[in-house]
Every structure is written in C-alpha cells, then in structure tokens.
Amino acid sequence: MDFQLSEEHLAVQKMVRDYTHKEVIPTIKEWDRKQEMDPNILPRMAELGILGINIPVRYGGQGFDYISLGLVCEELEAADSTLRVVMSVHTGLNSMALLQWGTEEQKQKFLVPQARGEKYACFGLTEPGAGSDVAAMKGTAKRDGDEYVLNGEKMWISLASKAHHALVVLRTSDDVEDPHDGLSAFILELDRKGVKTGDIHGKMGVRAGSTGWISMTDVRVPAENRLGEEGEGFKIAMSCLDNGRYTVGAGATGLIRASLEASVKYAKDRNAFGREIGRFQLIQQKIAYMVQSYEAARLLYLRAGWMKNQGQRNTRETSLAKWFATDASFDAASEAIQVHGAYGYSDEYDPERYLRNSKGAVIYEGTSEIHQLMQAGYALGYRDDGELRCELPAYDPDFWQAEA
C-alpha cells in the first residue's frame, strides 16, 4: 500500500492549480453571470496539454497515468465545474472510449487530434425522452451500403455547440430480445450535413459552460465511424461512464475542497458575539464534516484511479466514488453558504456558485438514485460485471510515453 503521490503527480497538480488561479478564477464569476463560456478556456486547456493528459504520447497525448487525470479534475473543479465538465466529456467519455474500443485507424483519425486539442469532443447519450433509461432511446442509425443514416435528437449534451466530434449512441436494431442489445456507438463529425447543434440557457449551474443539443436528420456517416461492433453500443456507453464518472467524482472532490477552503477563510475573518465564528462549535462541526467528506471522496477516487492504472475493472468503485463525492459536494457547498451567512447567499462570494454547480453532477453520469441501485445490486449479488471485448488498457509507462 502506498499513499504517496509521485513527484510527477504533484507537479501536474501544481501546474493546473497555477493555471486556474492565474487565468480562470479571476474572471469566472463574470462568465457565470453572463451564462457564457470564456472563449479562452478550450484553446488554453488544449495548448497546455490538459485535454490529452492521460492519453499515450503516440496518440497525441501527454502520456500521464489515470491518477493524474483525477488530480487534474480535482484542481479544475476547485476553480469551476465547467472546466472539469470539459475533461469529463472530451477526455473521459470520448477520447478514452477511442483508446479502449477504437481501431488503429479510428485512433489515428479521431483520437490523435482530440488528444492534441486540435478537435474538441463530446458525448451524446441522453435524449429528450430517455436519460437514466438508456435503452428507451429513439434515435436510430440505419445501415445503407457502406454508410449509416442517422436520425434523432440528443439533449443535455455538454459542449454540443463547441465540439467537432461527438460519440453518439443510437438504435441500429429493433429486432432484439433485449432492447439494450440493439444499440451501437458512432463517432459523428458535427460538421456533417443534417447535423444541427444549439445551447440550452437558463440552467441552474455550470453557467460558464456549454450544455446543448444535437439533432440529426438523415445524416450519412461512413461505416468506419462505427465504434465497436453493431449491438455493442450499450456496453460501450457504460464503459464510457466508468471513465466519465471517475472525472466527475474527482472533480466533485475539488468542489468539496473549495467549499472547505472558503469556509475556513470566512470563519476566521468573520466575527459574531465577540469572537471569530470559527470558535463556535456549530461552525466547527460544518468544517469537520467538509474535511471528512473531502478526505473520503479523495481516497475513493484515487482508489478507482489506481485500479484503472492496474487494468482492473472498477465499475463498482468508480460508481461509489462518483455517488459519494457528488452528494457530499452538494452538502459541502450548502454548508459553505451557511457559514457565510447572508454573504453566502450572494454571488459576490463563491459558495452559491459551488452549490448551483454541484447539483448537476448529482444528476448526470448516473443520478444518485441509479448509483444506489448499482451499489445495492453489487452488495446483494444481483449485479455482476461481465468481461468486455475491449477493456480499458492498464497504464504502461513505456507504452504511454514512447513516441510510437
């Protein structure tokens, strides 16, 4: 057992922290109020290599391990959730799926530019009528010679209007006993004819980010754009979530840390009844719970990251990390507001933004209810993870760091 982060891990963490402190935190409140994404965010994350942190160098990435990905997400979300969302969809849900399931040609064509940050990527699973119940989706992909014809609408898609590539899951067959087996995954270039995208406004949180929709009307894509086999779409989507949820859990851990740090600072500055409010036991209790949930969330995501490094299946552990951290981050942000009194209720201070941002993560990438069903399912023996045709490759430094 080794709880020590490596020198590289610490340097990565510090570099991303410096970036957010210099370039994100000073202006994030304004972008959040404007409900717009700072146009510098994606190009800077690309330029700094953050978008490809854990992708092998030979595929355009930086060749770091899965733990580094988690640490990066923690740092990003300590600044603002919208930056971590970028990592969740671009890297966790899309690029890592290409690494896991893509053919060599698909890796060269899609993964390399994504890891380099030349192309941005998103993930389209949810539809207006189907969220948790994935198999209820209506969007279709019909084979036509060497092509597929895509029709349908994806809703609540992070980066829909910013991305160049989307990993979309659609129904390729109704002729199956279990509707889950009729789904397939595709890489869709969003500049194809018949694709429209747009943004959703009026969101409670992640207002400085981009969340939108993708509509597909008779969109033709070559069969080479299909990721995995026909009928493998549900399995692929779930494996994507194993990676996306990891970034969400790690990020929520950062949001807890931000709530804790803001609360500690305020509790030492603010006086009531003749002393700093940090001296009151009821304030101390709030701080203590934030410390507890921060440390526990951190250990949970680091374990999941370690398992990914080892090449061990981690669906259960990642789900637990995501469920715990996101629920705890909502509580921490809410208590941070309470510590700040009326000032916590104002957008002059950060905690209200933390609270609004935290709620999204309790809903996407498996609602907390879905994670509870999963955890109970494992405990009761109702649920078991079958082997996948393509597992996420274990972190092998030699392979990851070599040029080709």
Partner 1 sequence: MKIAVFVKLVPDSAATFTVDNGQPNWGDAPLVINPWDEYAVEAALALTEEHGGEVVAVSLGGENAKEALKHALAMGSSEAVLVSDDALAGLDAAGAARVMAAVVQKIGDVDLAVFGKSSIDSDHGMSSAMVARVLGWPSLSLVAAVQSAGDTITVERSMEEGRQVVESPLPATMSVVKDFGEPRYPSFMGIRKASKAEIPLWSLSDLGIEVPTAAVTRSEIMAPPKREVTNEIIKGGSPEEIAATLADKIIAEGVL
Ligand X SMILES: Cc1cc2nc3c(=O)[nH]c(=O)nc-3n(C[C@H](O)[C@H](O)[C@H](O)COP(=O)(O)OP(=O)(O)OC[C@H]3O[C@@H](n4cnc5c(N)ncnc54)[C@H](O)[C@@H]3O)c2cc1C
Q: Which residues are marked as active site? A: 365
* CB of residue 5 to partner 1, shortest distance in Å: 12
Q: How far apart are CA 114 and CA 98, in angstroms?
A: 10
The residue from 58, 62, 139, 305 that contacts partner 1 (CB under 8 A) is 62
> In this structure, which amino acid lies at residue 277?
I
Residue 18 contact, options partner 1, ligand X, none, Cβ 5-8 Å cut-off depending on partner type = partner 1
> Which range in 7-15, 25-33, 170-178, 338-346 contacts partner 1 by CB under 8 A?
7-15
Tell me: does residue 212 bind partner 1 (CB under 8 A): no
Binding residue for partner 1, selected from 38, 58, 60, 64, defined by CB under 8 A: 64
> Judged by CB, which is closer to partner 1: 14, or 34?
14
Quote the least distance from Cβ 58 to ligand X, whole Å: 27
d(CA 172, CA 182): 6
Binding partner selected for residue 213 from ligand X, partner 1, none, CB under the kind-specific 5 to 8 Å limit: none
Question: Token pair of 283, please?
Answer: 């304030």
Window contacting partner 1 (CB under 8 A); options: 2-10, 171-179, 189-197, 276-284 = 2-10
Placement of tokens 């941002």 in the chain: 357
48 binds, among partner 1, ligand X, none (CB under 5 to 8 A by kind): partner 1
Contact footprint for ligand X (CB under 6 A): 89, 122-126, 131-132, 156-158, 206, 211, 270, 272-273, 277, 280, 282-283, 338-339, 341-342, 345, 360, 363-364, 367, 369-370, 373
Which range in 4-12, 96-104, 132-140, 325-333 contacts partner 1 by CB under 8 A?
A: 4-12
Least CB distance to ligand X at residue 193 (A) = 23
Which of ligand X, partner 1, none binds 253 (CB below 5-8 Å, type-dependent)? none
Least separation in angstroms between residue 65's CB and partner 1 is 11
- Residue 18 as a binder of partner 1 (CB under 8 A): the answer is yes
278: partner contacted, choices partner 1, ligand X, none (Cβ within 5-8 A by kind): none
Residue nearest to ligand X (CB): 131
Tell whether residue 46 is a contact of partner 1 (CB under 8 A): no
Q: Is 70 in the site for partner 1 (CB under 8 A)?
A: no
> Is residue 160 within 8 Å of residue 124, measured between CB atoms?
yes
Binding status of residue 402 toward partner 1 by CB under 8 A: no
Radius of gyration from C-alpha coordinates of the chain = 21
Task: Indicate the residue among 84 and 298 with the shorter CB distance to ligand X.
Answer: 84
Tell me which residue of 126, 150, 148, 149 sits closest to 137, measured CA to CA: 126
User: Alpha carbon 191 to chain centroid distance?
Assistant: 24
User: Can you give the chain as a three-state secondary structure string?
Assistant: CCCCCCHHHHHHHHHHHHHHHHHHCCCHHHHHHHCCCCCCHHHHHHHCCHHHCCCCHHHCCCCCCHHHHHHHHHHHHHHCHHHHHHHHHHHHHHHHHHHHHCCHHHHHHHHHHHHHCCCCEEEECCECCECCCHHHCCCEEEEECCEEEEEEEEEEEECCCCCCEEEEEEECCCCCCCHHHHEEEEEEECCCCCEEEEECCCCCCCCCCCEEEEEEEEEEEEHHHEECCCCCHHHHHHHHHHHHHHHHHHHHHHHHHHHHHHHHHHHHHCEECCEEHHHCHHHHHHHHHHHHHHHHHHHHHHHHHHHHHHCCCCHHHHHHHHHHHHHHHHHHHHHHHHHCHHHHHCCCCCHHHHHHHHHHHHHCCCCHHHHHHHHHHHHHCCCCCCCCCCCCCCCCHHHHHCCC
Rounded least distance, CB 251 to partner 1, Å: 19
Among 6, 40, 103, 132, binds partner 1 (CB under 8 A): 6
Under the binding rule (CB under 8 A), the answer on residue 8 touching partner 1 is: yes
CB-nearer residue toward ligand X: 123 or 234:
123
CB of 53 to partner 1, least distance (A): 7
- Which amino acid, residue 167? L
Q: Is 7 in the site for partner 1 (CB under 8 A)?
A: yes
Residue 19 engages partner 1 in binding (rule: CB under 8 A) = yes
Q: Which residues bind partner 1 (CB under 8 A)?
A: 6-8, 11-12, 15, 18-19, 22, 48-49, 53, 62-64, 401
